[in-house]
């Protein structure tokens, strides 16, 4: 049964991955964070490197809730400040409609293996939407493989 599950995931996600080894990485990937004191874990955690940028993303199964962290693709282990724009930015989308952009925050890259395309770190940020509402994301952590 486990082999069948892995095969189905491989077929479902395989179009974006070079091999089933990456599917195994996707199955162990995670993004977790506390949103205004409520713990949230993504059902799907991925990364995408494109045009010199790396997007680290976690989402619910239906895509309604999404956390995005955008960094330079060649980011090195270390501490970085998050904001709404610039080289290190983050967003929280609680319902697929409202977008909260980081106004301040911290990102720590613990590991980044560019050859294996794996990145791991922690984050927290305060975010604001266009209506002036704020939200706090704390104690965030992630470990993802990316394309």
SS (H, E, C) the chain: CHHHHHHHHHHHHHHHCCCHHHHHHHHHCEEEEEECCEEEECCEEEEEEECCEEEEEEECCCCCCEEEEEEECCCCCEEEEEECCCCCEEEEECCCCCCEEEEEEEEEEEEEECCCCEEEEEEEEEEECCCCCEEEEEEEEEEEEEC
Comparing C-alpha atoms, which of 95, 92, 93 is closest to residue 137? 92
pLDDT score for 27: 62
More confident residue, 86 or 27: 86
Tell me the mean pLDDT in the region 62-87.
Answer: 95
Q: What token pair was written down for 42? A: 């993504």
Tens-place pLDDT, residues 39-55: 999 999 999 999 999 99
Q: In the predicted model, what is the mean pLDDT of the chain? A: 85
pLDDT score for 34: 98
Going by C-beta distance under 8 Å and a sequence separation of 6 or more, which residues neighbour residue 86?
Answer: none
Tens-place pLDDT, residues 105-118: 999 999 999 999 99
Pick from 3-17, 24-38, 83-97 the range whose average pLDDT is largest.
Answer: 83-97
Q: Let me know: does 121 contact 141? Beta carbons within 8 Å.
A: yes
pLDDT score for 53: 97
| Percent with pLDDT over 70 in the chain | 82
Residue 130 has pLDDT above 90, yes or no: yes
pLDDT score for 26: 53
Q: Work out the number of other CB atoms within 10 angstroms of the CB of residue 29.
A: 22
């Amino acid at each position: 049964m486990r082999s069948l599950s892995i095969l189905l995931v491989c077929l479902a996600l395989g179009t974006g991955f070079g091999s089933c080894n990456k599917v195994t990485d996707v199955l162990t990937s995670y993004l977790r964070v506390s949103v205004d004191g409520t713990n949230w874990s993504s059902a799907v955690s991925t990364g995408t490197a494109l045009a010199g940028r790396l997007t680290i993303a976690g989402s619910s199964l239906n895509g309604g809730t999404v956390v995005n962290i955008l960094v330079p693709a060649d980011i090195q282990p270390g501490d970085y400040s998050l904001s709404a724009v610039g080289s290190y930015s983050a967003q929280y989308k609680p319902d697929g409609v409202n977008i909260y952009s980081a106004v301040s925050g911290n990102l720590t890259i613990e590991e980044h293996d560019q050859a294996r395309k794996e990145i791991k770190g922690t984050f927290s940020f305060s975010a604001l939407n266009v209506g002036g509402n704020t939200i706090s994301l704390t104690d965030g952590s992630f470990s993802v493989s990316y394309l």
